[in-house]
Amino acid sequence: MELLSARPIINNLPVNGNLDRTPLITNIQPNSIVSEQISSNNAPTIAPNIQIVNAPSIGDNPPPPAASNIIEMRGRPGENLPPSVPNLPSAVANPPANMQAVANINAMLSVDLNRADKYADYFGQSSTNTQLAPENMRETLSKIASQTGKRSAIIYVNLFAQQLELLLFLPDGAALRKTVPEANRDIVLKLASEFRQEISNPRKRNTTSYQSAAQKLYNLLIAPLEKDLQAQNIDTLLFSLDSGLRSLPLAALHDGKQFLVEKYSLSQIPAFSLTDTRYQSIQNASVLAMGADSFDLLDPLPAVPAELSTIVDLWQGKSFLNEQFTLNNLKSQRSRNPYQIIHLATHGEFKPGAASESFIQLWDGKLQLNQLRQLGWNNPPVELLVLSACRTALGDEQTEMGFAGLAFQAGVKSALASLWYVSDEGTLALMGEFYHQLKTAPIKAEALRQAQIAMIKGQVRIEGGVLRGPFVAAKRGGQNSQQALPQTVGAGDRNLVHPYFWAAFTMIGSPW
């Protein structure tokens, strides 16, 4: 896998008379800086007063300075800094714009480095050693835009005891940092827990109980960055989230009018340096689809046969059910044919503890998370791994790392997995529409986005016990075909609009 590393080019600079622990980037281009004060009219409602402070906190772990409102520091890197800054106290009190930009870039690279190391340690992998430079990141986003027509931005979300910090990297190389002192770690995690519990409770599928937390989290995580995203016509967001937020269903964050997924294609990454950014269209790829509908110790998944048949109706490939869903057959089929998409319709359990505690259930046993690398899915590369029936424990750091690091650990470019068990009809509907959209969407995350929007708008629904939607008509049976549903679903009409049915499904790793 061709990976960029989070190892920055460093030169330590004293701050306030002490040696700063954070590596400082001093050779960054291009030459353009902006530093501005945000109008309170544009601020999130949780913090109406906004000002700039001159000395930012840098890094992933040290606590940032206290403040009383949202703070914005932004800019593109300017001219090279000298190895030392004269008259340090006044320079720190009134830093030049390029010093501010260097601090923003340095903070971002420090976060990426720390997270890359943590994920590598968790999975027992060696950390990356080459350099990750802002220019590499800018060139990557620019190249992706030319290949796909999609403009992407990277958002790092950091939680501190005193405040929330957002770091944004834009495709022109600009870096922006905002802090929200009123939103400390405890406040944000409490909101995240409330949101996840309300949205994933099947008993609340006919309510809007999730919306209060969804809007508050949107105001904290998205609203402070929105004008910058709009100014650069961003349509794809890559999130690197702090511990406690990696099981957050980002797609269902809400601005009061729209869900976040109605505005942007989304993916969650462990770190940019652990993301395979090479792009290749998969519109003509073949699919290896495997799964099981019954298990000895786990709940049955009665919609799996219909799920597998739907996939091979929409795509070229092969499907294998139950007794044929073994580790040996999985290895054998992949060795015979370099399938670019592997779809596993089975239970995936992300559990606390070591990576070996989490697993994917096969017919003949468990495939542990730490065994995925042994399958050789990085050579030739698997473009997309899909796990359609996963469950992730809320709030446990190791569990969340297993989920957010799935693509990295499996050695694949992208993974699509669910945060909680979704109903049979919801999973079948989402997966059918996703594979339909994947035939024409320029990137994988956009295919997921369009599938989720189709459910939000009621285009994918159940009428008279029959599943209807664009993907059903696109199957080999044509306009008159009907999608069979498991008997457990029952007859009657049912809409799949509530985010319980679609928000659990998350693109992990490369959105492209």
Q: Which two tokens stand for residue 505?
A: 């499904």
Q: Say if 41 falls within a structural domain.
A: no
Q: Which amino acid is at 101?
A: A
Q: Are 330 and 375 in contact (CB under 8 A)?
A: yes
What per-residue confidence (pLDDT) applies to 33? 30
Q: What share of the chain is helix, strand, coil (3-state, %, to 5)?
A: 35, 20, 45
Instruction: State the CB neighbour count (10 A cutoff) for residue 495.
Output: 14
Q: Say if 306 falls within a structural domain.
A: yes
How far is Cα 471 from Cα 44, in angstroms, rounded to an integer? 39
Q: Residue 381: is the preceding peptide bond cis (ω within 30°)? A: no
Instruction: State the CB neighbour count (10 A cutoff) for residue 470.
Output: 15
Q: Are 176 and 74 in contact (CB under 8 A)?
A: yes
Q: Say if 122 falls within a structural domain.
A: no
Which residue do the tokens 């403009």 mark?
151
Q: Say if 111 falls within a structural domain.
A: no
Number of domains in the chain: 1
Q: Are 268 and 414 in contact (CB under 8 A)?
A: no
Q: Say if 229 falls within a structural domain.
A: no
Q: Which amino acid is at 294?
A: S
Q: Which residues of the chain have pLDDT under 50?
A: 1-68, 75-94
Q: Say if 45 falls within a structural domain.
A: no
Span 279-310, pLDDT tens digits = 999 999 999 999 999 999 899 999 999 999 99
Q: What is the DSSP string of 48-66?
A: --EE--SS---SSSSPPPP
**In the β-sheet with 461-463, what is the strand arrangement from edge to edge?**
466-468, 461-463, 494-495
Q: What domain range is 473 assigned to?
A: 287-509
Question: How far apart, in Å, are the Cα atoms of 419 and each of 151, 173, 240, 248, 489?
Answer: 26, 32, 16, 8, 21
Span 70-124, pLDDT tens digits = 566 554 443 232 333 233 233 333 455 678 888 899 999 999 999 999 999 999 9
What per-residue confidence (pLDDT) applies to 28? 39
Domain holding 434: CATH number? 3.40.50.360
What per-residue confidence (pLDDT) applies to 478? 58
